[in-house]
């Protein structure tokens, strides 16, 4: 007898929510349409710029790139000399400049986290607690 094990890309709320290729599901298998993939720029609170030539940059503070598992690819690329340090707007603090094209390519097939509307927060957290007791 075979047992289907779903392909889980990411989890949230201590494993109660699972991101599968088809979307967000509770650990019990029920779909959760109120949850969506987090926007990685907003999730990590990063600045961006776009030049007159339509070249975009994402500015990632080195400490965040080194310590956030989801951003470690940026740290590694910078250590290999693929990215450079630039001044992040608006505060002009040093940050690793990542071409927006690289950023978009990376996040087209990765998940930064889960997010939902504030009005759904209480119900989602209550369901997560219930899922953990199944």
Q: Which domain holds residue 128?
A: 10-38+112-132
| 18 assigned to some structural domain | yes
Whole-angstrom Cα distance, residue 77 to residue 18?
29
Number of domains in the chain: 2
User: Residue 23: left (phi > 0), alpha (psi -120 to 50), or beta?
Assistant: left
88 and 71 belong to one structural domain: yes
pLDDT tens, N- to C-terminus, the chain (134 residues): 455 567 888 899 999 999 998 999 999 999 999 999 998 898 889 999 987 776 799 999 999 999 998 899 999 999 999 999 998 888 889 999 999 999 999 988 888 889 999 999 999 999 999 998 86
Nearest to 24 by CA among 92, 111, 86, 88: 111
| 62 assigned to some structural domain | yes
69 and 53 belong to one structural domain: yes
| 22 assigned to some structural domain | yes
| 97 assigned to some structural domain | yes
20 and 50 belong to one structural domain: no
pTM over 0.75: no
Three-state DSSP at 32 gives coil
86 and 70 belong to one structural domain: yes
């Amino acid at each position: 007898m075979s047992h289907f094990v779903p392909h889980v890309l990411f989890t949230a709320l201590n494993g109660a929510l699972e991101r599968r290729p088809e979307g967000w599901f509770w650990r019990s298998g029920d779909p959760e349409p109120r949850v969506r993939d987090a926007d990685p720029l907003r999730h990590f609170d990063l600045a961006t710029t776009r030049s007159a030539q339509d070249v975009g940059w994402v500015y990632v503070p080195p400490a965040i790139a080194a310590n956030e598992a989801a951003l470690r690819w940026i740290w590694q690329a910078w250590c290999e000399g693929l990215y450079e340090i630039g001044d992040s707007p608006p505060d002009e603090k040093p940050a690793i400049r990542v071409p927006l094209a690289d950023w978009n390519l990376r996040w087209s097939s990765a998940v930064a986290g889960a997010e939902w509307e504030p009005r759904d927060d209480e119900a989602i957290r209550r369901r997560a607690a219930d899922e953990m007791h199944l």
